[in-house]
Amino acid sequence: MRWLAVLAEFVFVAAVAYASVWCWRNGIHTSWFQSSGDAPGFTARRYSGPWLAGAAVSMAAAGVVLIDGVVRAVRFAR
């Protein structure tokens, strides 16, 4: 039964890490502006705080669960 919990934790870590990458990509928006008259064209980046904070919190949670899963696996193997 313990191996099932360890396996579930590792699956959870993978899912939360994927969600973190998804949040990070949604938190950064790039816009391209063409040149207009004398003004040169440029690229602008906009950062969305809630998306980036969600990515950081979810990655921290995944790290904590990963550490717990490794500890459970090592403890069970002994």
Predicted local confidence at residue 67, as pLDDT: 95
Give the DSSP letter of residue 39. B
Predicted local confidence at residue 5, as pLDDT: 87
| pLDDT tens digits in sequence order for the chain, 78 residues long | 688 988 999 999 999 999 999 999 999 999 999 998 888 999 999 999 999 999 999 999 999 999 999 998 888 767
CA nearest to 70, candidates 5, 16, 21, 1: 5
* Domain that residue 7 falls in: 2-34+41-77
The answer to whether the beta carbons of residues 78 and 5 sit under 8 Å apart is no
Number of domains in the chain: 1
pTM of the model: 0.78
One-letter amino acid identity for 29?
A: H
